[in-house]
Structure 1
């Protein structure tokens, strides 16, 4: 699953905080047909998943996928405080100028339950999301969708940092930095593997986990971003742009550009620079 290609629809957001006057049922048993993220910020209670009861505490975040039966019980004296968002999603692709709607996956690659470590960015993102939804100002759905993506980014980052060896994460960042500094060159997977002293197989695996792209796909993506900047300058031929970015074959460069942007470099030049 490439997380960069997901499109989200928010059904609703909810929250319960101390002294806000909201009344919440003390027991809820349900099976949702969509997905929910639930962040506990205080209070007492339990959530039962797959026959296992989890005592609720501040900092626990739950991912309740569609079709997962669960029961939430709350202490009557100290009911839980929380933020929640209910949503559905699908994947959308864009290749060579054509849009496509992909498979609707059963679940996101998130654990059902996790305790946040230094999760203030996740909490802040959740607060911003529920505030945007509750305010109902013009454009709130678009804003809320953007903030859901920000929330998911922070959650995925947390999960990766907790699951992934920190030293390996730094090596992935080192590879990306090396790519940015050598956009005009032709780098190979073997060279990048040697740079961070990882096998090509292992680097390929951890890089895809961290970015959603293969090593070469990511390098070409950076090159295409730079190509657009060079084309927008308006004083370079397409062949010169290709050569500057390490492509000896102008036609191969054009194929990669069109796969990314949906139009050829010359069409991009005409549309953007001359407004044709």
Structure 2
């Protein structure tokens, strides 16, 4: 079973939905240097074609089944194809990080997403629009949940290790080993040996595979586990640090603050 890369990195929630809009085909539709300073935007192309320019890319063709993502503050221009104007569903939303920076977390989502996985999101966008327009009791909760589902699918697709990449299965086995034995701290030489790779080759592949060094990845595993122990009420800070393999409580606290954005004592005071 594959393990998600950045497994402990993503921690945010959709807090507000500004609008959900369904646009019918209009050959005169277009936006020029549009900037959304207060919202992120997802758009799903339901039919037709559109031409977009954003993030330095020249005239990208958007077609049925594609999903666009616009971060806050990113200027973009687009217009409907004159012969086959597109129709689309879009949602503008805001999000707040539970830990870390939400802009950095969402930066892994491509601006243009296409392929069979993107097309499969059509049902989610349709359900989102229906929930927004019907406005039944609890519709805002439902809309936030559906938007979170769409974001999860986009993040999962773009961070899931591809089993056909070089040595993917060996790296997944190493990651599962680290997760199962979170108390231990493995040296790169040990992990490389288990993967059947030289240390230098292992370092390069692991960083490419996860976006983190092996040390950083182990730290995230340990901090995530310690966080579980503290939030469940099982442990105080010192006990949690010890249970995940840290003898130095001060080093643990500094590392926890760096990764989670909070002092571990803040979780105990809840």
Q: TM-score, normalised by structure 1?
A: 0.65
How far off its partner does 1:183 sit?
Answer: 1.2
Instruction: Rate the CA distance shift 1:200–1:36 in 2: closer, same or farther, 3 A.
Output: same
Match status 1:203 vs 2:206: yes
Aligned to 2:3: none
Report which of the two structures shows the higher radius of gyration computed on alpha carbons.
1
Aligned to 1:41: 46
Give ranges in structure 2 of 5+ residues lacking alignment: 1-7
Aligned to 2:262: 262
Aligned to 2:22: 15
Deviations 1:242-267 (A, max 9, x none): 443222334433443455373445x7
Instruction: Rate the CA distance shift 1:218–1:124 in 2: closer, same or farther, 3 A.
Output: farther
CA distance in 2, matches of 1:136, 1:206: 42
Q: Point out which structure has higher relative CO (alpha carbons under 8 A, 6+ apart).
A: 2
Instruction: Rate the CA distance shift 1:158–1:70 in 2: closer, same or farther, 3 A.
Output: same
Deviations 1:52-80 (A, max 9, x none): 36373x3233345632111113657xx64
CA contact 1:39–1:59 (8 Å) conserved in 2: yes
How far off its partner does 1:104 sit?
Answer: 6.6
Instruction: Rate the CA distance shift 1:6–1:225 in 2: closer, same or farther, 3 A.
Output: closer
Aligned to 1:181: 180
CA distance in 2, matches of 1:179, 1:53: 41
Indicate the larger mover: 33-42 or 175-184: 33-42
Secondary structure of 2:26's aligned partner: coil
Give the CA RMSD over aligned residues: 4.2
Instruction: Rate the CA distance shift 1:224–1:51 in 2: closer, same or farther, 3 A.
Output: closer
How far off its partner does 1:165 sit?
Answer: 5.3
CA distance in 2, matches of 1:115, 1:152: 14
Secondary structure of 1:27's aligned partner: coil
How far off its partner does 1:6 sit?
Answer: 6.1
How far off its partner does 1:30 sit?
Answer: 0.8
How far off its partner does 1:190 sit?
Answer: 3.8
CA contact 1:39–1:82 (8 Å) conserved in 2: yes
Deviations 1:63-102 (A, max 9, x none): 45632111113657xx64533223466x75857xxxxxx6
How far off its partner does 1:200 sit?
Answer: 1.2
How far off its partner does 1:125 sit?
Answer: 3.3
